[in-house]
């Protein structure tokens, strides 16, 4: 009887350990969890981590909200580009990129899908990117006449222009106003 109890106890401990380790790997889709997963991928590939920019965070969130409200899933829609969201937040960039995801249930699932897509992977592993912003919004999306709940995730990467480039932009803008 004690042997059976020990075996069953060992199986129970194994199941709890396995279940707990599986649950800790699958994290909720949040901006923080996406950024952490992206920076893990960058670290594995010998790259510096990207740093969260409040401006990019706001741009990404507004893009996700816009896609939910207007019921689309695209980088370019309604005359808007990913760059217009970034510029509207006052982020003056020299280089920028955007990744979109919809319908995933974990942050790891989102980042894994991006890493398996050459264009999305290139954004995540671009050594020129310094900043990141992630917008995660719950809502619904209609496709083929069916409306279903979804999680819309927008990830924006960028690097700010140098101070000299920003100064030149201001001088040109001022000259354009004069002439």
Average pLDDT, stretch 151-175?
A: 79
Choose between 37 and 18: higher pLDDT.
37
- State the chain's mean pLDDT as an integer: 85
Strands 146-160, 131-143: pairing kind = antiparallel
Distance CA 131, CA 110 (A): 19
Helix (H, G, I), strand (E, B) or coil at 154: strand
Q: What's the pLDDT at 16?
A: 32
Phi-psi region of 146 (alpha: psi -120 to 50; beta: other; left: phi over 0): beta
Q: What is the pLDDT of residues 119-151, one digit of tens each?
A: 999 999 999 999 999 999 999 999 999 999 999
* Residues 23-45: b if buried by 16+ CB within 10 A, e if exposed: eeeebebebebbbebbbebbeee
Q: What's the pLDDT at 25?
A: 53
For 128, the token pair is 């020129």
Helix (H, G, I), strand (E, B) or coil at 56: helix
Q: What is the pLDDT of residues 73-109, one digit of tens each?
A: 999 999 999 999 999 999 999 999 999 999 999 999 9
What global pTM score does this model have? 0.78
pLDDT band at 162 (very low <50, low <70, confident <90, very high): low
């Amino acid at each position: 009887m004690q042997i059976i109890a020990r075996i069953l106890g060992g199986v129970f401990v194994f199941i709890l350990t396995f279940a707990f380790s599986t649950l800790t790997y699958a994290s909720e889709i949040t901006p923080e969890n996406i950024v952490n997963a992206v920076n893990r991928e960058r670290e594995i590939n010998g790259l510096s981590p990207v740093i969260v920019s409040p401006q990019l965070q706001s741009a990404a969130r507004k893009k996700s909200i816009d896609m939910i409200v207007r019921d689309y899933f695209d980088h370019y829609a309604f005359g808007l580009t990913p760059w217009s969201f970034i510029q509207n937040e006052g982020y003056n960039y020299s280089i920028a990129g955007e990744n979109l995801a919809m319908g995933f249930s974990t942050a790891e699932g989102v980042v894994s899908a991006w890493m398996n897509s050459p264009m999305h992977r290139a954004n995540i592993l671009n050594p020129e990117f310094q900043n990141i912003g992630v917008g995660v919004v719950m809502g619904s999306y209609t496709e083929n006449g069916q409306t279903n709940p979804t999680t819309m995730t927008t990830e924006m990467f960028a690097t700010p222009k140098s101070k000299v480039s920003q100064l030149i932009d201001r001088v040109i803008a001022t000259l354009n106003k004069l002439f």
